[in-house]
A and B are shown apart, each in its own frame.
Chain A
Amino acid sequence: MAENNGYSLWYEFKKGLWQDIPPFRLVLGTCPTLAVTNSVINGFAMGMATLFVLLGSNIIISAIRKYVAPQVRIAAYVVIIALLVTVADMFLAAFFPPVSKALGPYVPLIVVNCIILGRAEAYAQKNPVVPSIMDALGIGIGFTMSLMVMGFIREILGFGSLFNIKLIPPSLFEPWIVMILPAGAFLVFGTLIAVVNYISSRKSAASDKA
């Protein structure tokens, strides 16, 4: 790791933003992606809470990776993740009660978000702390971005607003209620996966030619 540190660290970060962007490429963490993205703010808050938990769990798990018996590693990881999630939940409830109310049970549900345990198993338990931090930041920011894009589309079509500010007067545009319903989440999610696949197939076609 030491010799090509600069390149590999940047790669660990960058891969979460496009190549391994969680909901659209890995199709992980779809529950919050579908459930809480009816506004940009909610998507951002959910993304940040997940980023916090992911960062914490990656750091801790990577730090203790040599001391944990492999037979009980999952149990230990789950306890650590649950701790971080509870802390995040209480933090939101204490400082941002409206956000906490809007996200409802989905903050405690970060515990079962596959991204967290997925990164712990696939990355943090095999790699040192610093690359694990980069990995968590990349994946976490990629996840937050995904949720915000979902929230952006759904909020502007479903409420005609952005960041809770009315942008389009109702006389010009009748909001599509379906977009803030679960059905709209699935429609936007499917469309975005299609767009991401389309762009990356174009990219790979272009690189094949080159």
Chain B
Amino acid sequence: MEDKTNDKTEVKSAPEAPAGPGGARLFVTSSPHFLNNESVPKIMHTVVLALFPAMAASVYFFGFRALLLYAICIGACLLTEYAFQKYMKRPIKIYDGSAIITGILLAMTLPPGFPVFGAILGSVFAIGVGKQLFGGLGFNIFNPALLGRAFLMATYPVLTTTWVEPRTVQKAVDAVSAATPLALMKFEGKLTPILDLFTGNVAGSLGETSAIAILIGGLFLRYKGYVNWKLPLGYLGSMAIFSGIFWLIDPSKYPDPLFHLFAGGAMLGAWFMVTDMVTSPTTDIGQWIFAITGGIMAVVIRLFGGLPEGVMYSILFMNAFVPLLNKHTRPRVFGAIKAKAE
């Protein structure tokens, strides 16, 4: 697989790509792009750093159990990556940090009481099927962590939807089971106070409860320049506007936009999954379409679908359109003449 990059550009360059001066072709390639001293490991390790506040918040709210799940998922992801790369005779690149991120993100989407064997299974699926079978980092169509989570959701529908009250795991032997704010809203019409949603003092998956912690991490990434601001802004913005329309129509039936932004996986998804460099479009228009449609999808699933939460499926769904978006939103090269329709 030494000629990995060549493969990639060949796939991306459509036959009508115009020849530039000197016969060189202009390529639109998938990120991550390398600029001066940036490298994949550096980007990835910064992302891990950005995930720290959310991890700390989950350990505070869900205790030792959260730490255990992070360790299991990271370990299983690294091992799977190693095993696949070894078996497929690819260069071993487990130190680039991408598997660590997948492990952390997968653990963040799991309920605190999730069993260890399930976490291992999800990690193996995320890295094995979600990433390595597609060809490794840069070739995967879907966000591996979300794919692992979707697989677990179908495999263990009960375990993935059994939640506990925050700060009960460490106090009592039996954690108090509870419903997530989104489930409360959907099935019982109860709204959770925004402050609890903001700090994370609610039932939910490990990493998605504390909006403030994710926001800190996300803004740090933005400051570092690793996050394209269009993606989270488009996703959260379209969620807010679209849910706001329904809220204005009937405030008693539909929750307000702020609730949508802070409840469930919206924050985590918008800052760390929508922005995944590999599985988001490369062009400006493509990114806007990707993020805005994704946000609308998430609200549609939440309000009218069978499930209380729609962030995961909305992102996976939009991931599938990324190659199409890249192809059809490619900007015209300056000076190039539009091919005559014949």
Contacts and interface: CB of A to CB of B under 8 A. Distances in A.
Interface stretch (A29-37, A142-150, A173-181, A200-208): A173-181
Nearest to B117: A174
A174 B154 contact: no
B244 interface: no
Contacts of A176: 121, 155-156
B157 A177 contact: yes
A199 interface: no
B288 interface: no
B133 to A, nearest CB: 9
A183 B150 CA distance: 11
Contacts of B156: 174, 176-177
* Interface size class of chain B, counting residues whose CB lies under 8 Å from the partner chain: 10 to 19
B159 interface: yes
A174 B151 contact: no
B154 A183 contact: yes
Nearest to A179: B155
Interface in B127-145: 129
Interface residues of A, number: 9
A177 B157 CA distance: 7
Contacts of A179: 155
Interface in A169-194: 174, 176-179, 181, 183-184, 187
A174 B115 CA distance: 10
B154 A177 contact: yes
Contacts of A177: 154-157
Contact of A178 (B115, B117, B155, B159): B155
A181 B118 CA distance: 18
B118 A178 contact: no
Contacts of B121: 176
Nearest to A158: B155
Contacts of B151: 178
Interface string B156-186: 1101000000000000000000000000000
Interface in B111-131: 115, 117-118, 121, 129
Interface in B81-117: 115, 117
A174 B118 contact: yes
Contacts of A183: 154
Contacts of B154: 177-178, 181, 183-184
A183 B156 CA distance: 13
Contacts of A181: 154
B154 to A, nearest CB: 4
Contacts of A187: 129
Contacts of B129: 187
A174 B120 CA distance: 13
A15 B309 CA distance: 50
A134 B156 CA distance: 44
Contacts of B159: 174
Interface in A85-132: none
B72 to A, nearest CB: 16
A205 B115 CA distance: 44
Interface in B183-222: none
Contacts of A178: 151, 154-155
A187 B155 CA distance: 12
Contacts of B155: 176-179
Sort A-B residue pairs by CB-CB distance and give the 8 closest, nearest first: A178-B154, A178-B155, A176-B155, A183-B154, A177-B157, A177-B155, A181-B154, A177-B154
17 contacts: A174-B115, A174-B117, A174-B118, A174-B156, A174-B159, A176-B121, A176-B155, A177-B155, A177-B156, A177-B157, A178-B151, A178-B155, A179-B155, A181-B154, A183-B154, A184-B154, A187-B129
Interface of A: 174, 176-179, 181, 183-184, 187
Given A176-B121, A179-B155, A181-B154, 17 more contacts: A174-B115, A174-B117, A174-B118, A174-B156, A174-B159, A176-B155, A176-B156, A177-B154, A177-B155, A177-B156, A177-B157, A178-B151, A178-B154, A178-B155, A183-B154, A184-B154, A187-B129
